[in-house]
A and B are shown apart, each in its own frame.
Chain A
């Protein structure tokens, strides 16, 4: 069964969606979408490095994302630039640096489109294994820090005063984001990872009455987006990664429509 490329694609996409949903909720709650983007763009530099020094791509992407996240934390403590300017600076310089590095490596042929927009139809058995092993680890850690992370999200000062150690869980959250990006890069590519993280979470908001519910619904809607995107990609011969994002966006638009009986977007 795993020999069929489409089955592997479905498994990989579903695996990433399950992890991206709950984590994406925190990204939405903490208003860190742009931060996620920055880490994802930096992932291209990770890919270039992995080709240069011949290490596992997932590991290299994870390492570079962590480095960028920590640089971001350190820079934010100094009062140099505003956070959004810093993010823009880091995000695009990492992306540009990655592209320049790849161009220098004339001896490797790189499928740039695949890196930028994902190549889910080309995932290997090992890729699927990486997604599920890494995904299980991320979900496990997320469950362990859930209460503290949620408290720090609602109010960092309150969490600090009441012994929830927000600084520590913030760093753990960065590591989880870097991990998700490194396993999702193959599926949707560096430019669309943030979409897979935040669109299902945003679509789940209207359906949810509690944060835990929103995490579950986000994972569920992510799975639906992956399936809808993959099947339409097969039927209409559209690129798979962008099709998944388009399906997610369609679900989001459905979720914010004023359905009869719903309380509207503010309700």
Chain B
């Protein structure tokens, strides 16, 4: 399996995250369902003002891990600790509203919290759906619904914002705007953000830390660590680092039913975390799919100082 990630450095240099006690911390957490582990051995922290993105293929346990962090699922092993009194804003992957449920956007904004009118107005404004406040939620399109759900979570002024695929169904220019907004929310509200991305070709702006899951934590680190690594500079030159990094990640092992791991060379180990991502694993190459997703992206305000593969 081969996944390609695009990391875009934010315009501002990444601020050093002030070391504070984490908002949420998973330690060796796992969920077991009818004998099989959906995800296991997840170590994950989100600190105030930090944006952490979970990535990985389908069924890799991204949503499950996020649900453990949220307290929706109780880990079968390990621990999930949240700071006491933590206010959480959650944007789920999908929200189906039945015909029988009369629910306006305005009422939906106050579903779990009691934000003031000003917070509601501002939140709807900054996600660009202020004109929809009187609409019924079930009449919204997928993208509009995403924006309304995000506005609802922002209006709560949470300590921790959890976004499960926040740009699903949002049009391309809206996608960029929402990622910019997410970065702005972090600095304005000072909250920690835990984000899930399933579409690996999506541009991830201002992510402090990336956690790659594949039934367990494969690797984690800053996008900058990756883009400033020697292997990266060798391939793209120093100019490209700090701009757009293409990070290719081979899932070079499969998980056997008994929990052991078979590597691509056929060897079987107790776990997979001891494998080294050598230069060949990080071979940065132009990926056709990523290409197409980006070739209409030049006119927006944040120019990607990218490799020549963007100059079409």
Interface of A with B (CB < 8 Å)? 28-29, 31, 79, 147, 150-151, 153-155, 157-164, 201-202, 205, 208-211, 213-214, 266
Which residues of B99-136 have CB atoms within 8 Å of chain A's CB atoms? 99-104, 107-108, 111-113
B70 at the interface (CB under 8 A from A): yes
| B70, A155: Cβ atoms closer than 8 Å | no
Q: Which of B71, B95, B100, B156 lies in contact with A205, CB distance below 8 A? A: B100
Interface centre among A157, A162, A163, A164 (most CB of B within 10 A): A162
Q: How far is the CA of A157 from the CA of B70 in the complex (A)?
A: 9
Interface of B with A (CB < 8 Å)? 34, 67, 70-72, 88-90, 92, 95, 97-104, 107-108, 111-113, 156, 162
Nearest B residue to A201, CB-CB: B100
| B88, A157: Cβ atoms closer than 8 Å | no
Given known A157-B92, A158-B90, A158-B95, contact A211–B67 (CB-CB < 8 A) = no
26 contacts across the A-B interface (CB closer than 8 A): A28-B100, A31-B98, A147-B112, A154-B101, A154-B103, A155-B95, A157-B67, A157-B90, A158-B90, A158-B111, A158-B112, A159-B112, A160-B71, A161-B88, A161-B90, A162-B89, A162-B112, A162-B113, A164-B112, A205-B100, A210-B104, A210-B107, A211-B101, A211-B102, A211-B107, A214-B102
CB neighbours of A158 from chain B (8 A): 90, 92, 95, 111-112
CB neighbours of B108 from chain A (8 A): 154
Q: Distance in Å from the Cβ of B51 to the closest Cβ of chain A?
A: 18
Given known A155-B92, A162-B112, A162-B113, contact A266–B99 (CB-CB < 8 A) = yes
CB neighbours of A155 from chain B (8 A): 92, 95
CB neighbours of A161 from chain B (8 A): 67, 70-72, 88, 90, 162
Given known A79-B34, A150-B111, contact A162–B88 (CB-CB < 8 A) = yes
How many residue-residue contacts, CB under 8 A, span A and B?
68
Q: How far is the CA of A211 from the CA of B137 in the complex (A)?
A: 12
Nearest A residue to B34, CB-CB: A79
Given known A154-B95, A157-B67, contact A29–B101 (CB-CB < 8 A) = yes
Q: How far is the CA of A214 from the CA of B103 in the complex (A)?
A: 10
CB neighbours of B92 from chain A (8 A): 155, 157-158
CB neighbours of B98 from chain A (8 A): 29, 31
Nearest A residue to B107, CB-CB: A210
Q: Which of A150, A160, A210 lies in contact with B72, CB distance below 8 A? A: A160
CB neighbours of B34 from chain A (8 A): 79
| A157, B72: Cβ atoms closer than 8 Å | yes
| A151, B112: Cβ atoms closer than 8 Å | yes
Nearest A residue to B162, CB-CB: A161
Q: How far is the CA of A155 from the CA of B162 in the complex (A)?
A: 15
Q: How far is the CA of A210 from the CA of B88 in the complex (A)?
A: 25
Q: Which 6 A-B pairs have the closest CB atoms?
A: A161-B90, A161-B70, A162-B112, A160-B72, A208-B102, A28-B100
> A153-B101, A154-B103, A155-B92 provided; 5 other pairs, C-beta below 8 A?
A157-B67, A157-B90, A160-B70, A161-B72, A163-B88
Q: How far is the CA of A13 from the CA of B71 in the complex (A)?
A: 44
Nearest A residue to B111, CB-CB: A151
Q: How far is the CA of A208 from the CA of B99 in the complex (A)?
A: 12
| B90, A154: Cβ atoms closer than 8 Å | no
Q: Which of B88, B102, B111 lies in contact with A213, CB distance below 8 A? A: B102
